[in-house]
Amino acid sequence: MRSVRFKVSAIFVSIVSVMIILLWLFQIVFLDDFYKVIKTNSVRSCASSIASNIDNKELNTLVYEIAQRNFVNVRVVKHTKNGFESVSISESTRSLEYCLADELLDKYYNDALNNDGTNLINIDNQDSFKFGNTDNINSEKTSEDLQNAFIGQTPSDSIPKAKGIVFCRVEKFNNEEYLILITSVISPVNSTIQTLSVQLLIITLIFLIFGTFIAFLTSQTISLPIENINDKAKMLAKGNFKVRFTEKGFREIEELSSTLNFAAEELGKADSLQNELIANVSHDLRTPLTMISGYAEMMRDIPGENTTENIQVIVDEANRLSRLVTDLLDISKMQASVSELEYEQFNITKELTEIVQSYASLSKQRGITVNLEYDQEVLADADKTKIKQVIYNLINNAVNYIGEDKTVLVKQTTKEKTVRIEIIDHGIGISKEDIANIWNRYYRVDKNHRTAIVGTGLGLSIVKSVLELHKTEYGVESELGKGSNFYFEIERVHNDHTESGEGTVEE
């Protein structure tokens, strides 16, 4: 797998190469063709301009202007019975002027007439311009002639000879025929090509240097934060939850950083909660175990201590142990998602009544009352065992954190599609900061007085898992010092045939 750095650099280098290749192609390779097309078009428009002014008195001036401006040679002749009569001539360049010679006019005229009135002749090599009877042309000496005449060293002949065109147009006006001839060099000036080549070479070098530099910088900016994040993630994997991801630069990296920060924080929290749990569990296990073994030893060793009260202490402590172990098992089952819901239809009101009645003994022992209030009997569709566990957990909490009124109210309200169950106490309540956390595993608001109140810190976490499996609404409204209202809703069966009517149950 290639690295980001390599890929980014490769893309950059490719872009730069394509740009350079395009520049070379257009500036050097296709320059001739472009130049030829542009020049040919310009020559044609010059011819049109002359043609439309053929009767103008100032034709000479126009021809002169056109020749000068466009660097072409122009000749206009009139076709008469006796041959050709010169009208206007203007030469701005000496090259190709021999193509305007009198001897050629007849051929030009005939060829143009045979070809819709215009004709374009390409001259590839001026020096070997053989066209019709050109032997008698009083042309300029060709460069070869000059070279031959010159005694001494001449520049090498490697530079290609200029190419040209002769454009002929026959224009009829007032029953008279005019022949317009324009010659133009159609290969770019050699010095221009040389200049362009040198410039291109410099541009290519600059591009390559800058391109490499920018490719390096870009890949560095992209890959460096990724590499850093990777290093830190490795530390995180090794268990260093304090590591923080500060990498920035672009949105994706920032998002990745903040996700990993969140993960690190959560892992850190889980880790410290786990440590706390071990401390809690070992403490919670040790206390009842010490009590059990203490009481058992006492009953063994001291005659007369084998009383029902002492045995009750052992039974209570053993129950507390088993509750703790059950909670731990439940939570681990939920976590492993092995527990699936077993939906059934059941009379939730009857279940609530039974649960509330099971707290009757509390009334005798601690003077605590658990009341039930319901609007009508309803059938619910849910996992009965798990929902009962939720209700028990919530009532146990309400009892554990009960207020001075020593009353817990269990309220059932029927809604359109659901039935809402509330467990209300007027106890210590929960602060806003703690409300968000109480549903977390092992979280206990008052960590210092654990032994004072029976609990494992797992009850609400089990409640949350069950209700989330049911995909239902749940929550708590609580105010510090005033009490709490834990509520949840479960789906209700609509066409239930249960008796209607309000009721209250007091255990």
Binding site for ligand ADP (CB under 6 A): 397-398, 400-401, 425, 427-430, 438, 443-446, 455-461, 484
Give the nearest residue (CB) to ligand ADP.
455
The residue (of 353 and 484) whose beta carbon lies closer to ligand ADP is: 484
Identity of the residue, 130 or 449, whose beta carbon is nearer to ligand ADP in the bound complex: 449
Beta carbon nearer to ligand ADP, 211 or 427: 427
Instruction: State in angstroms the smallest separation of the CB of 428 from ligand ADP.
Output: 5
- The torsion angles phi and psi of 269, rounded to 5 degrees, stand at -60, -45
The DSSP bridge pattern shows strands 369-374 and 407-414 to be parallel
Which residue, 137 or 331, is less far from ligand ADP as judged by CB?
A: 331
Whichever of 35 and 442 has its CB closer to ligand ADP, that residue is 442
Cβ nearer to ligand ADP, comparing 188 with 403: 403
Q: Judged by CB, which is closer to ligand ADP: 232, or 320? A: 320
Q: Which amino acid is at 251?
A: R
Measured between alpha carbons, how far is 132 from 108 in angstroms, rounded to an integer?
10
The kind and range of the H/E element at 345 are strand 344-347
In whole angstroms, how close is the CB of 412 to ligand ADP at the nearest point?
18
CA–CA separation, 439 and 457 (whole Å): 9
**Alpha-carbon gap, residue 153 to 52, rounded angstroms:** 49
Q: Could you say which DSSP state residue 80 is in?
A: E
Secondary structure class of 92 (helix, strand, coil): coil
CB of 458 to ligand ADP, least distance (A): 6
Report the distance separating Cα 382 and Cα 272, nearest Å. 35
Query: CB 319 → ligand ADP: shortest distance, Å?
Result: 15
Q: Minimum distance between the CB of residue 459 and ligand ADP, rounded to whole angstroms?
A: 3
Query: What does the DSSP 8-state code read for residue 113?
Result: H
For the CB of residue 462, give the shortest distance to ligand ADP in the complex, in Å: 8
Q: CB of residue 423 vs ligand ADP: minimum separation in angstroms? A: 8
Q: At what angle do helices 31-52 and 59-70 cross, to 10 degrees?
A: 170
Q: Which residue has the tokens 């224009």?
A: 171
In terms of CB distance, is 211 or 455 closer to ligand ADP? 455
**Distances from the Cα of 103 to the Cαs of 100, 107, 201, 469, in angstroms?**
9, 8, 47, 105
Least separation in angstroms between residue 226's CB and ligand ADP is 41
DSSP string, 276-319: HHHHHHHHHHHHHHHHHHHHHHHHHHSTT---HHHHHHHHHHHH
Cα separation of 206 and 326, whole Å? 75
Shortest separation between residue 461's beta carbon and ligand ADP, angstroms: 6
Smaller CB separation from ligand ADP, 78 or 323: 323
Which pair of tokens denotes residue 386? Answer: 């798990």
Task: Report the C-alpha gap between 275 and 298 in whole angstroms.
Answer: 34
Helix 190-237 and helix 251-301, axial crossing angle in degrees, nearest 10: 10
- What residue type is 407 in one-letter code? T
Closer residue to ligand ADP, CB minimum distance, 183 or 397: 397
Nearer to ligand ADP, 349 or 456 (CB): 456
Rounded CA-CA distance 228/235 in Å is 11
Q: What is the DSSP string of 37-68?
A: HHHHHHHHHHHHHHHHTTT-TTHHHHHHHHHH
- State the minimum distance, in angstroms, from the CB of residue 288 to ligand ADP: 15
For the record, the structure tokens of 474 come out as: 């749940």
Q: Which residue's CB is nearer to ligand ADP, number 401 or number 488?
A: 401
Beta pairing partners, 83: 80
State the nearest-atom distance from the C-beta of 425 to ligand ADP, in Å: 5
Closest distance of CB 464 from ligand ADP, Å: 9
Question: For residue 485, what are the β-bridge partners?
Answer: 424, 477
The phi and psi torsions of 220 (rounded to 5 degrees) equal: -65, -45
Instruction: Assess contact for 410 and 352: CB atoms under 8 A.
Output: yes
